[in-house]
Amino acid sequence: MFILISYDIPHDKRRSKIAKTLENFGKRVQYSVFECQLTDSQLADVRNRLTALVVPNEDSIRFYSLPKDAVTAILILGHGVVTQDPIFYWTD
């Protein structure tokens, strides 16, 4: 499934850890936005990893699941492409 993950984290160290975690699951398309092609188990894995890092009353991480037909309708102004390949997977 195609998941868009965005975050707003006020503390630099925690924000860096969250970004590093997300780099293992998707492609950064904006400073705090990642496009991810994930299976259900990978989605559960990334959610568990981020839950361990987030401070609920300070941080915000949003997951947007897009259906296949919505992905084909994504419009990009300027440079960039929609993530196509599921090339980013955590391999513990």
Q: Which residue positions form the known binding site for Mg(2+)?
A: 8
CA-CA-CA-CA torsion sign (75, 80, 85, 90): negative
User: Is the Cβ–Cβ distance between 27 and 35 less than 8 Å?
Assistant: yes
Residue list for the binding site: 8
DSSP 79: S
DSSP H helical ranges for the chain: 12-23, 40-53, 68-71
